[in-house]
Amino acid sequence: MARHLADLTYEEVAEIVSAGGAVAIVPVGSVEPHGPHLPLHTDTTISETCAARAADRLGETGVPAVIAPSVPYGVTEYARGFAGAIGVPAAALTAMLRAVAERLLECGFAHVSFVNNHLEPAHDAAVRAAIDGLPEGAASVACPLTRRWGRTLSDEFKRGDCHAGRYETSLVLAAGKRLRGAVGELPRVGLSLSDAIKAGKATFAEIGMDRAYTGAPAEATREEGDELYERLVTMVVTEIVEGLAKRAPA
């Protein structure tokens, strides 16, 4: 089972990092609306589940990994106007994550990985800015917004109509969370969030996402969610292993 940093004593942490090569995985998410059927914590839940499964897979290969406390607040400008959209400025998020990374490295971890599943471009940029200038291989960002990983995911994800749609709803089901309301009654909304962002739309409301979702949540299944997690975990593990390989010998 994955180990959570917050549950350990300082002596246990010291033992983990003493042998070298230990990894700290930091789930990053947001507090924002995800339709009438998913909680505000959805992005963070997905990142936490990815982190736990990735830590287990790393452990099987001999790489010690712990899950650091999540950072649940993010840049959520697109959700403005909806109740429960609690965002922070990009600069504040970058500063927070940079400080977390530096302290984890100072603590003795060989690599820090930020696992991000909140896909607002400004948020992703803020997360990536947090590791700029750190020693090579010391930190990574695992996020499916990059083409390398996005192309491995579902058709709905690739189209961009996946905010609280079949893609995210399947991941929430596979995380063991309960859906709200009659999901089967939600109609498919064929609006591509990625296309709308490229076209200059700045909010869910401008895009036409009247209920803060797009895609087909009624088609979600736990089985699809587990399959998607396998691909997302491969993303996380690969980013970490490649980062560790770049570290200069101590």
Provide the pLDDT for residue 189. 97
What CATH number should be reported for the domain holding residue 178? 3.40.50.10310
| 3-state percent breakdown (helix, strand, coil) of the chain, nearest 5 | 50, 10, 40
- What local confidence, expressed as pLDDT, does residue 248 receive? 67
pLDDT value, residue 1: 73
Q: Number of folded domains in the chain? A: 1
Rounded CA-CA distance 50/146 in Å is 17
Tens digits of pLDDT across the chain (250 residues): 789 999 999 999 999 999 899 999 999 999 999 999 999 999 999 999 999 999 999 999 999 999 999 999 999 999 999 999 999 999 999 999 999 999 999 999 999 999 999 999 999 999 999 999 999 999 999 999 999 999 999 999 999 999 999 999 999 999 999 999 999 999 999 999 999 999 999 999 999 999 999 999 999 999 999 999 999 999 999 999 999 999 866 5
Show the tokens assigned to 242.
């490649």
Q: What is the dihedral of CA 7, 12, 17, 23, to 10 degrees?
A: -20
| DSSP notation for 151-165 | TTS-HHHHHT--TTS
Domain interval for residue 105: 3-246
How far is residue 108's CA from residue 18's CA, in Å, rounded to a whole number? 7
- Provide the b/e sequence for 150-167 (b: ≥16 CB within 10 Å): bebbbebbebbbbbbbbb
User: Does pTM top 0.95 for this prediction?
Assistant: yes
Residue owning tokens 């010291």:
14
Q: Are 16 and 4 in contact (CB under 8 A)?
A: no
Structure tokens at 84: 């429960």
